[in-house]
Amino acid sequence: MKIDVGIGDIARWEDEVVVVNLFEGVAHPGGATGAVDTAIGHQITAMIATGDLTGKFKEVAVLPSFDRIPGNRVMVVGLGKRDDFTLDRVREVSATAAVKIRDMGLRTFATIVHGAGVGDLDLGDAAEAVVEGTLLGLYRYTEHKTENDKKKIESVTVVNMDKARAGALRDAVHRASVVATMANFARDLINAPSNAKTPRLLADRVRDAAKETGAKLTVFDEKQLEKMAFGCLLGVAKGSVEPPRFLMLEYQGGGKSRPIVFVGKGITFDSGGIALKPLEAPGGGGMWLMRDDMGGAAVALCAVLAAARLKMPRNVVALAPLTENMPSGSAQKPGDIVRSFGGKTVEVINPDAEGRLVLADALGYAKTLKPQAVVDLATLTGAMTVALGKHAAGLFSTDPTLAGRIARAAEATSERVWPFPLWDEYAEQIKSDFADVKNSGGRAAGSITAAKFLQRFAEGMAWAHLDIAGTAWVEGGPDSPNKDYLPKGASGYGVRLLVRLLRDWDTAR
């Protein structure tokens, strides 16, 4: 989809639809909406007077222009009450409008920058939110559908009157287009069925994407992993006929500075191994959903691809251990002991706690890169979904500065995080009688003990762990986020957060 910037009066813009907005409780609209209202004979004001248009959040009204303006139709989208207005509401109403226009069978539209100038909201931030909401909201995964809905938006124009801000507006639109496109690519990878994204196939898709952006991809195969002593990753992979892969995606934009490293869990399908998962789970989901267990890897990789496309002044690396976790005669068994990269031994109490095993090797490898900081992301524990539902990821960190940077990036992107403790007392639950550590501490504080396990392999680094088990997938229903830019399926949670983290790295100390 093509996204352009237009400088001028939306009331004089020619398109299939021109989109303006209205706050709840406003009787006489001003600004761009007021200009359009005047040009079309005060139809918007008349609808407000009759109660047919209220400005309620995400309310949509479509009016004919009767050839009074070049645009064929006018869409008014409700912003809700001014006191409740946020940047994330810009994303939401932009998605609402775009999806409505697509469902009408139209192909192009022009929109004002919702919220620009409201309070202290910057034009650039608002424009980014408009583009993000539009692209994220219009996303659909149709790769395996033989009969597709042909309705499709082909182009969008973001229109603003301020000629002096044209350059800043174009920069904002470009930045948001790249980030949202990479979030949608992460969604594609996560939504793909596991037979279409084995470790080797997934590596091929990332290789193609890396070539387009100029990032460097290194793929380590099973023989190299044996030489590198990736015992935890190889242990998980033993049960599958599909060989594992370890991806290192590098973007060098920061000169000689030490890299920021993102590590993502990449279980391309998780049956639970010998600790077999149920086919159906209470409340929805079940084993079929375990195609999303590589969500952390997809997000880490796509964040680096976005950084490369944006030519950010950072050195960034994504590490993605990829494997299936399957049951077979050769599969890892409860009580097995494996040796991680770096030498620590792990007693495998639960073969279904495999994500932390593959991350252990990746975190150990991250140390060799001498990073400024390491952030890992993983659909790690069902306990996190119990704790926070689907509205936030759990944040664990040994470094307050890094945790603060992540929290600020989360606030800016509305990809929420919530901090959890890493008290020493929790380490008692993962002590092993036979190895350095065991991979499961039981049900109590399951997310925390999983993070304590990872902490053992992140020692000596500024490190943070994001448990995205609840946020990686949107199923719909009352427990899911009711946001029009989050359609059912993979959410792409974390791409926008990580890119914002990189963007603000020098200022958010």
Give the pLDDT of residue 457. 98
Q: Which residues fall within 8 angstroms of residue 148, CB to CB, at 6 or more apart?
A: 142
Q: What is the DSSP letter of 259?
A: P
Give the pLDDT of residue 148. 78
147, pLDDT greater than 90: no
Q: Which residues fall within 8 angstroms of residue 349, CB to CB, at 6 or more apart?
A: 334, 335, 438, 439, 440
The fold of the 2-143+150-180 domain, in CATH, is Leucine Aminopeptidase, subunit E; domain 1 (3.40.220)
Sign of the torsion formed by the C-alpha atoms of 225, 291, 501 and 137: positive
281, pLDDT greater than 80: no
Q: How many residues does the chain have?
A: 509
- The pLDDT confidence band at residue 120, using thresholds 50, 70 and 90, is confident
Q: Decide if 277 is catalytic.
A: yes
| 217 strand-pairing partners | 249
Q: Chain-wide mean pLDDT for the chain? A: 96
Cβ atoms of 479 and 167 within 8 Å: the answer is no
Q: Which residues fall within 8 angstroms of residue 413, CB to CB, at 6 or more apart?
A: 496, 497, 500
Q: Quick one: tokens of 450?
A: 């999983």
Give the pLDDT of residue 282. 65
Rounded to whole angstroms, the Cα distance separating 189 from 127 reads 27
274, pLDDT greater than 70: yes
Give the pLDDT of residue 509. 58
Give the pLDDT of residue 284. 61
353, pLDDT greater than 90: yes
- The pLDDT confidence band at residue 507, using thresholds 50, 70 and 90, is confident
Side chain identity, residue 102:
R
The tokens 């479509």 sit on which residue? 62
The half-sphere exposure of 239 on its side-chain side, counting CA atoms within 13 A, is 24
Instruction: Find the mean pLDDT for residues 379-407.
Output: 97
Q: Which residues fall within 8 angstroms of residue 498, CB to CB, at 6 or more apart?
A: 262, 299, 300, 303, 375, 377, 409
Cβ atoms of 495 and 180 within 8 Å: the answer is no
Cβ atoms of 93 and 78 within 8 Å: the answer is yes
| 377 strand-pairing partners | 264, 466
Of 165, 356, 496, 500, the active-site residue reads 356
3-state secondary structure of 255: coil
Cα 413 to chain centroid distance, Å, stands at 10
Residue among 399, 395, 368, 398 nearest 384 (CA): 395
Cβ atoms of 338 and 276 within 8 Å: the answer is no
Give the pLDDT of residue 508. 58
3-state secondary structure of 25: coil
285, pLDDT greater than 80: no
**What residue spans of 123-265 are helical by DSSP H?**
123-138, 166-191, 199-213, 222-228, 231-237
Rounded to whole angstroms, the Cα distance separating 182 from 190 reads 12
Give the pLDDT of residue 480. 87
Q: Decide if 356 is catalytic.
A: yes
Rounded to whole angstroms, the Cα distance separating 306 from 288 reads 29
pLDDT digits (tens, 9 = 90+) for 408-427: 999 999 999 999 999 999 99
Residue among 162, 153, 84 nearest 127 (CA): 162
φ, ψ (nearest 5 deg) of residue 50: -85, -5
- Options 2.40.30.10, 3.40.50.720, 3.30.110.30, 3.40.630.10; CATH for 207-503 is 3.40.630.10
Q: Quick one: tokens of 399?
A: 């470094």
280, pLDDT greater than 90: no
Rounded to whole angstroms, the Cα distance separating 113 from 126 reads 6
Rounded to whole angstroms, the Cα distance separating 24 from 497 reads 30
Of 102, 245, 277, 496, the active-site residue reads 277
Give the pLDDT of residue 412. 96
Q: Where are the domains of the chain?
A: 2-143+150-180, 207-503
Instruction: Find the mean pLDDT for residues 160-184.
Output: 97
Q: Quick one: tokens of 213?
A: 């952006």
Instruction: Find the mean pLDDT for residues 199-225.
Output: 97
441, pLDDT greater than 90: yes
49, pLDDT greater than 90: yes
